[in-house]
Chain A
Amino acid sequence: MNPRLLASAIAVLALIAVPYAIQEPYYVNIASQILLYAVFALGLNVLVGYGGLVSLGHAGLSGVAAYAVAYLLSSGHGHAAAIAGGLAAGLIVSAGFAALSLRVSGITFIMITLALGEIIWGLAYRWISITNGDNGLTVNARPAPFGLSLNSAAGFYDATLLVFLLAIAACAIFVHSPLGAALAGTRDQPRRMNALGFHVWMIRFWAFMFSGLLSAVSGILFVYYNQFISPQALALTASAEGLLMVISGGAGTLLGPVVGAALVVIVKNVVSAYIARWNFMLGAIFVAIVVFMPEGLVPGTVRLARAGWRAASRRTTPAPAGATGAAKPGEAAAPVAGQKP
């Protein structure tokens, strides 16, 4: 069996086992939070990691979806209609964001997404007839798909896990697809991609829509998890936190955003129980990551593990110099040269 497939299967089984292993609803809820933020970070990573487009407005996209669900529910619609409406609202606003922000790239792109995110926050705060302003909207009940209740911590975790697995599978498929390769190409050499016949703007647009879809999905999970949505969830800090997850875990990798989401959620919820100034803790961890693993936790760990494994195998088998090198000259040098291009 393919080792990668085997590792994925074990990871999925471990994730399914989480509620049985930890029982305590408080911690199961934290696991749900990690997964729903991971979906958000996965979506942001499509743009940041693979497209090279750093967005500071993505909380606005998930927020719009969350508000749409809460509003539709409060005005008497069913869960199916509310979720469909949430996704539609998220996608429409994503298209608007993309149309306005993709005229530029780099710093200007960051500033425009930031401004657009702030506009959404402003609307949530001020458009009181729809959003109830600072008081927010409450959601009275979680849905019960196929008669399965999501009211318990474990029930909600299972639903979130299913959505998360679909999201990460979609990302894995996209990243290895021709369109995914084209997106990575526009990140590294946009000018060349254009000269090769690629429609750079359109590639980025579809990437933005995919990213927006995942943000909307996480927004819907968020509003059902908290059964409440207020402008705070759309604030700049929420977007920045998503970016922190992507970068600390490893932008442009599949697992990086998931690890980053786990890190941020755990520090926020668990460490804050012991240390009042948990923000300081998060900052210190982030600084440590930047110093020791600037590429992020996932690729950094892979690098250290490889270096350690090589050092260990060198010590245990003092092969005659050049024996391994002569057999595979290209491979022996490859990982070393690849670390710091």
Chain B
Amino acid sequence: MTALAVHNLCKTFGGLRVSTNVNLKVESGERRLIIGPNGAGKTTLFNLITGELTPDDGKIRLFDRDITRLASRKRAHLGIARTYQIITLFPRDTILHNATLALLGLSPLRWNPLFRLDRQQQLTARARAALGRVGLAHMADRPLAETSYGEKRRVEIAMALAQEPRVLLLDEPFAGLSIDERRDVRELLKGIPRDVTVIMIEHDMDTALDLADRITLLHFGEVIVEGTRAEVVADPRTREVYLGE
């Protein structure tokens, strides 16, 4: 079954064409890697898929449901979760509170003005479990402002995983990490169950390559090459555009 289908998607910022007839078909459970040089329109594509941007033309379907015009928050409720390239967390709060907010976003409890949020045992237990999956359970009560960059990246991933998405979008999950941290995050991503479809933007080919089933190469907002790992790496256009040879 197709988890996510993008059909002839177009987006321009003023005169700048950032997405031109982008077509993408990601099967359920697939690991898709999206590569391309800076300015290729990778993050824009994510923003179009999550609804943070509205396309000028084209269609987006999630499990055969047209979500092209659906509000971003509703897409979250349908099972799309994402992480951000530039860390986008709640710096005044604890790690646990960050994870709790991710769970609260999909819970009907979010409209409740009377209960104490920190007394919602079930929610807190699930938030701690999500932090446990990324190895941060022991520092759950620490303020986010006192954590390292690598830990923040893992909080991002924990928040996305906590939402139990059907489609998970990871925008450069390895950016700015040390070699050790890269290894940890890679193991973490490998451990994501196969009922989750994962689409990942990443520059670090060495780390990301063996996570991917298929690879899409974007350049100037267009899909240049798409295929299996071996096909894309072997394709001369990949070398020309991306590897700069």
The interface of chain A, by Cβ under 8 A from chain B, is: 173-174, 176-182, 184-185, 188-189, 191-200, 206, 210, 330, 333-334, 337-338, 341
Contacts and interface: CB of A to CB of B under 8 A. Distances in A.
B158 to A, nearest CB: 13
Q: Which 5 A-B pairs have the closest CB atoms?
A: A196-B105, A197-B105, A197-B76, A179-B113, A192-B88
A16 B106 CA distance: 44
Interface stretch (B9-17, B59-67, B90-98): B90-98
Contacts of A199: 73
Contacts of A206: 111, 113
B44 to A, nearest CB: 15
A303 to B, nearest CB: 15
A173 B113 contact: yes
B159 interface: yes
Contacts of A338: 143, 145-146
B118 A196 contact: no
B102 A196 contact: yes
A191 B101 contact: no
Contact of B101 (A177, A185, A334): A185
Interface string B223-243: 000000000000000000000
Nearest to A192: B88
Nearest to B111: A179
B109 A195 contact: no
Contact of A185 (B90, B113, B142): B90
The CB with the most chain A CB atoms within 10 A, among B52, B73, B84, is that of B73
Given A174-B113, A338-B146, A198 B120 contact: no
A177 B105 contact: no
Nearest to A181: B117
Interface range for B: 35 or more
B28 interface: no
A177 B89 contact: no
Nearest to B100: A181
A182 B103 CA distance: 11
16 contacts: A177-B117, A178-B107, A178-B112, A179-B111, A179-B112, A184-B93, A192-B84, A193-B101, A194-B72, A195-B82, A197-B73, A197-B106, A197-B163, A210-B113, A333-B146, A337-B145
A210 B97 CA distance: 24
A338 B94 CA distance: 11
A206 B112 CA distance: 11
Nearest to B162: A196
Interface string B128-161: 0000000000010011011000000000000100
Contact of B73 (A177, A189, A194, A330): A194
B115 A188 contact: no
Given A189-B89, A197-B77, A334 B143 contact: yes
Contact of A195 (B72, B89, B100, B104): B72
B110 A198 contact: yes
Contacts of A176: 116-118
Contacts of B109: 178
Contact of A198 (B73, B92, B100, B117): B73
Contacts of B142: 330
Contacts of B139: 330
Contacts of A178: 104, 107, 109-113, 115, 117, 120
Contact of A337 (B90, B116, B146): B146
A334 B146 contact: yes
Nearest to A200: B73
Contacts of B90: 184-185, 188-189, 192
Given A176-B117, A181-B97, A341 B145 contact: yes
B1 interface: no
B179 to A, nearest CB: 25
A269 B166 CA distance: 62
Contact of B163 (A193, A196, A333): A196
B113 A189 contact: no
B185 to A, nearest CB: 20
